[in-house]
Amino acid sequence: MDNHVSEMKDTEAATADLVEVRAESETSSARRRTSWRTCCSGFLRRNLLVILLLLSLLLGLGVGFFIKFGTDLTFTAKEISYIAFPGTLFLNMLKMVIIPLVVSSLIAGMASLDKSMSGVLGLKALVYYFSTTFMAVALGILMVMTIQPGNRQETTEIDRSGNSEYVNTADAILDLLRNMFPPNIVEACFRSYKTVQTPIMMTDDQSEMTGMPMTTIEGTTMGTMGTTPEPEVILVSKGGYQDRSNVLGLVVFSCAFGIVLGRMGPAGVPVKAFANSMMETIMRLVRGIIWISPIGIFFLILGKILGMDDWVTVFSQIGLYSATVISGLFIHGLLVLPLLFVIFTRKNPFAFIKGVSPALMTAFATASVGNAVDPEL
């Protein structure tokens, strides 16, 4: 009898242990499911905009290719402009906030810097900018010399339609300096200065008067004099304003204004508060515009695909060019810049890239579509 009671107690204890183990297992499974759901929902909340941007790109490509090759529908240029109209509105919204965002953020940022740090930070930023620009230019030249995207077809097959723009190095540098210090800061919001090289044909009578290669104070000769005078073409520099925002001049003015404002002390507090409030207002407006960007990107991609007629010609002309540009961007963005980050900070660059990945993806999606539709972006 005692043995039977002992066996029953052992059985009950084993059953209780089994029930406790099962309960713990179920609790652990529930915790894992809850943790997995929490992780997924947190990831979706943090990266919802990035996911929507990628989906809009893929959806625009898919719908465009399906309509182009899977149906017999044809669209006129006017109809395509109607299809792309929501995307055009999106680009207009982006353009609308560029200048207020740049000016307000730079003034507020420079005004909030410490007096002793503003000069050091500005010098470091200048050195970093010129260094990375030089590296990018050198990498671009190396990629072009290696891949040679323009050397893949016969000379007779090259489409030479369009106008060639002559560039003078000295005029380009002078234009850069002129735009850094615009005479009218309001005009700089919508106009910038540019010198254009205009070719002028010289007559035989004018050529016979010199007996040597002709030059002018503002231009250089494209041609030489021989025993039999031939018409010569000289380039004459003529400057003027174009209908394009002078962002460089606005940046220089905003930085100088912010530095002076930060050193004014109590007298500059009202203007500083206004700049901070303006920046916060524009940032909220930008966030609202960015959240409707998937709709605009979808219609922009769809309109561009429907507007292309000869796909073989398009891809043969820009295929290697696109590969060269994308390869250079990936090398510069994933090798050169992270290497500089490691050298100067001794930290993991990819952790930093992961932290700013939503901003990078938003910039990539909006800038790539904007450049495809409107190069001035």
DSSP per residue, 258-305: HHHHHTSGGGGHHHHHHHHHHHHHHHHHHHHHHHTHHHHHHHHHHHHH
Residue 232 in contact with residue 219, Cβ under 8 Å? no
Q: What is the pLDDT of residue 41?
A: 76
Task: Verify that 358 and 288 share a domain, yes or no.
Answer: yes
Residue 341 belongs to a domain? yes
Q: What is the pLDDT of residue 160?
A: 59
The 3-state DSSP class for residue 332 equals: helix
Residue 55 belongs to a domain? yes
Whole-angstrom distance, CA of residue 366 vs CA of residue 289? 11
Residues of the chain short of pLDDT 70, as ranges, are 1-34, 115-119, 122, 150, 152-165, 202-231, 310, 312-317, 358-377
Task: Verify that 40 and 83 share a domain, yes or no.
Answer: no
Task: Verify that 77 and 148 share a domain, yes or no.
Answer: yes
Whole-angstrom distance, CA of residue 21 vs CA of residue 28? 10
Angle, in degrees to the nearest 10, between helices 247-262 and 269-291? 140
Task: Verify that 65 and 119 share a domain, yes or no.
Answer: yes
Q: Which two tokens stand for residue 182?
A: 């615009």
Task: Verify that 147 and 288 share a domain, yes or no.
Answer: yes
Residue 158 belongs to a domain? no
Q: What's 123-158 look like in SS3?
A: HHHHHHHHHHHHHHHHHHHHHHHHHCCCCCCCHHHC
Task: Verify that 120 and 34 share a domain, yes or no.
Answer: no
Q: What is the pLDDT of residue 89?
A: 92
Task: Verify that 70 and 25 share a domain, yes or no.
Answer: no
Task: Verify that 149 and 269 share a domain, yes or no.
Answer: yes
Residue 193 belongs to a domain? no
User: Tokens 């009950």 sit at which residue?
Assistant: 12
Number of domains in the chain: 2
Task: Verify that 26 and 76 share a domain, yes or no.
Answer: no
Assign residue 316 the CATH number of its domain: 1.10.3860.10
CA-CA-CA-CA torsion sign (233, 239, 240, 241):
positive
Q: What is the pLDDT of residue 217?
A: 40
Task: Verify that 278 and 337 share a domain, yes or no.
Answer: yes
Q: What is the DSSP string of 216-240?
A: -SS--EES---SS---EEEEEEEEE
User: Model pTM?
Assistant: 0.65
Residue 103 in contact with residue 254, Cβ under 8 Å? yes
Q: What is the pLDDT of residue 313?
A: 67
Residue 367 belongs to a domain? yes
Residue 241 belongs to a domain? no
State which residues form the domain around 35: 1-46
Amino acid present at 354: K
Structural domain ending residue among the three candidates 31, 46, 61:
46
Q: What is the pLDDT of residue 207?
A: 46
